[in-house]
Amino acid sequence: MNPEGLPEALALAREIDERLRGLPLLKLLFPPFVFLPLIRTEELVLGAQNVFYEPKGAFTGEISPTMLKSVGARWVIVGHSERRNIFKEDDEIIRRKAEAALSHGLKVIYCVGEHLEDREAGRYRDVVLRQLSYVPASENVVIAYEPVWAIGTGRNASPEQIEEMHTLIKERTGLRVLYGGSVKAKNAPSLAAVRSVDGFLVGGASLKPEEFRKIGEALAE
């Protein structure tokens, strides 16, 4: 839920668009729902942070795939760790959201990842493989690996840990894989150098246009 108001959101989107201009990357921007219809960019493709699995109906507070398309969204994120942890969305709900988005012509970033207790207990591969078993078979899906224990905790996944998980995901799905664990300008070059990393799902650093630019440069290089 950033930034707090429309003027700030429009200014931020405009600056991000300008700072990332010219980088040979697919650049996606996922603003809050209420800002989507008003943001205009030249190089950024717009997406939504969430979606509901029905096209219409009595589901107060939810946003349908058709609504998102009508205001310019082309992508949607499903299964983000915050949706799973705070709002208790399970694998079946996330699968239904992904299928609904795909059936209405949206492309999907499908998030997977394990908690610290899963990592320490040695069951992290099993957790991610279970989550992957719900991913719809579609070339319009991109996986984002989010080790939950490396988000906002000060801990970072090592290049070896990332390579292991991205390779596992690619072997299972054949899809592109983004890394999404506290990506910042200072760690972007080492993360981008991991052979199996196809891109980043950036959180807080995306609110800082100059830092976002440096992350993009690391990927482009």
Cα separation, 161 vs 140, whole angstroms = 26
- The answer to whether 149 and 115 are in contact (CB under 8 A) is yes
| Cα angle for residues 131, 51, 114 (degrees, 5° grid) | 25
Active site residue 115: no
Q: Mapped to the 3 state alphabet, what secondary structure does 107-156 carry?
A: EEEEEECCCHHHHHCCCHHHHHHHHHCCCCCCCCEEEEECCHHHCCCCCC
99, 114, 146, 211: the catalytic one is 146
Cα separation, 24 vs 6, whole angstroms = 29
Which residues pair with residue 46 across a beta bridge?
29
Cα separation, 10 vs 35, whole angstroms = 8
80, 89, 114, 211: the catalytic one is 80
Active site residue 104: no
For the chain, give the number of residues: 221
Active site residues: 80, 146
